[in-house]
Amino acid sequence: MSLFLSIEGGDGAGKSTQAALLMTRLKAAEVDALLVHEPGGTALGEQVRRLVKGAASPSPVPELFLFEAARAQLVQDVIGPALTAGRVVVTDRYADSSTAYQGYGRGLDLEDVRALNRIATGGLMPDATILLDMPPERALARVDGTDGSGGRSDDPDQARFEREPIEFHQRVAEGFRTMAAEEPRRWFVVDASAGADAVAEKVWAIVSRLLDVRGIKSHA
């Protein structure tokens, strides 16, 4: 039986680290799992990734369409087939990121964003979504290294969203929290300010329970 999990959160909340740690735990438990990352995962998705993060600087509506185009291709070519094959799929960002960033962050109409999400995904939503929640001020300090972590400033095209004013990131964070409160059965909010290993433990506690409920054999 398949399971579809998404990991969401603002920039610098540690999603990619947690997604990788989760995959390590799933592999150790001999669960057949696939990790994808939005935007990306297909040839179109990788091009979109460069476009939205680079110098093209699309305005909000075209930006939304770019993310949705990448998402539609990823669902059709990768996520859908993997779920049909009974695999566990973990995605680092999914449709909720468009609602948070283009809806709450950029100010596009939330129902319009959700309608496009439905078209792009064919209505496929995650069974569970883990929100890595952390104050944007702290998360962004991690990204630019002002917290002493070294940051990610060696990535030349990572900066477009991260350069947005703090108010933008606060709207995004608040948007995620609102979505989690509106749909508490799907969302699991994890305080991401702790160290990576402590956060990973909390994430694994959630995921291993979901695997049990689904009757997916894990050897953890």
Question: 36 Cβ partners below 8 Å, 6+ apart?
Answer: 74, 78, 79, 89, 90, 91, 92
- Which of 97, 108, 121, 187: binder of ligand TYD (CB under 6 A)? 97
Of 32 and 109, the one with the shorter C-beta distance to ligand TYD is: 109
What distance in Å separates the CA atoms of residue 113 and residue 117, rounded to the nearest whole number? 6
Measuring CA to CA, which residue among 116, 114, 84, 120 is closest to residue 100?
114
Q: Which of 33, 35, 67, 175 binds ligand TYD (CB under 6 A)?
A: 67
188 binds ligand TYD (CB under 6 A): no
Is residue 15 part of the contact set for ligand TYD (CB under 6 A)?
yes
Interface with ligand TYD, residue 39, by CB under 6 A = yes
Dihedral over alpha carbons 37, 41, 44, 45 (to 10 degrees): 0
Q: Give the whole-angstrom CA distance, residue 215 versus residue 131.
A: 24
| Closer CB to ligand TYD, 32 or 167, in the complex | 167
189 residue type, one letter: V
Among 147, 161, 178, 186, binds ligand TYD (CB under 6 A): 161
Q: Which is nearer to ligand TYD, 51 or 207 (CB)?
A: 51
Q: Which stretch binds ligand TYD (CB under 6 A): 9-17, 21-29, 124-132, 184-192?
A: 9-17
Nearest residue to 183 via CA among 111, 125, 112 = 125
89, β-bridge pairs = 4, 34
Closer CB to ligand TYD, 65 or 208, in the complex: 65
Q: How far is the CB of 218 from ligand TYD (least distance, A)?
A: 26
Token readout for 128 is 């569970």
Q: Does residue 38 bind ligand TYD (CB under 6 A)?
A: yes
- As given in the structure block, the two tokens for residue 184 are 């508490």
Q: List interacting residues with ligand TYD (CB under 6 A).
A: 11, 15-16, 38-39, 52-53, 67, 93, 97-98, 101-102, 158, 161
